Amino acid sequence: EALCQFQILKEAFTTAPILSHFNPSLPTIVETDASDYALGAVLSQVNDSGKHTIALYSVKLLTAQLNYEIHDKGLLGIVWALKNWKAFLISLSNSFEVLTDHSSLQYFMSSKVLTCHQARWPEFLSEFHFTITYCPGWLATLPDALSHWDNMYPERGVDFISKNPHNFHKVINQDGIQESRFF
């Protein structure tokens, strides 16, 4: 049984395409996700044999961006993904689709009231021809995984404990509870 499983893994790792080359004539999809501390995005295209990943993107949020509301972080994820893959996306003759797990972002481009963070992004976004489509988070596993890398979360303090409760271990000895190394 182990040999059979090994052969299955070997086939999966060596079967093309693992990452595909970009083709401007194919339908293109950008999937994004924002967590409290990071952004993740996937660029993929659809051909006759299905959806294929072209590129992956993950970035830790800057200190000021940590204070953004979650829908602003979601929009920032879209902006950063489009900036990162601008050379590919500008070359498309057809519209591409942006998938996000923030349903309110579907209406961003037609919104008349913007926050101060959002106000600077429409000009950049207007360079692209795309539609924003809501995709439930549980269906967007790859961008979600890219925005939840362990090394993107705080390494100490209350934020560390709230984001990583499984890593908080109290050390108890004869004298009682010792100070945790996470504070």
Between 10 and 174, the more confident residue is 10
Give strand ranges (E) for 35-160.
38-47, 50-60, 96-100, 130-134
Lowest mean pLDDT among 68-82, 105-119, 164-178: 164-178
Q: Report strand pairing: 96-100 vs 28-34.
A: parallel
Position 89 confidence tier, pLDDT thresholds 50, 70, 90: very high
User: What pLDDT does 17 receive?
Assistant: 57
**Half-sphere exposure in the Cβ direction for 49 (13 Å, CA):** 5
Mean pLDDT of the chain: 79
Partners of 45 in beta bridges: 28, 52
**In this model, does residue 175 exceed pLDDT 60?**
no
DSSP 43: E
Nearest to 60 by CA among 76, 44, 82: 76
Residue that has been written with the tokens 């924003």 in this structure: 132
The size of the chain, in residues, is: 183
Residue 56: what pLDDT? 92
Model pLDDT, residue 118? 76
The whole-number pLDDT of residue 178 equals 47
For 99, the token pair is 């998938």
Q: Please report the domains of the chain, with CATH numbers, ordered by start residue.
A: 18-152 (3.30.420.10), 153-183 (no CATH)
- Please give the Cα distance from 174 to 158 (Å, whole number): 26
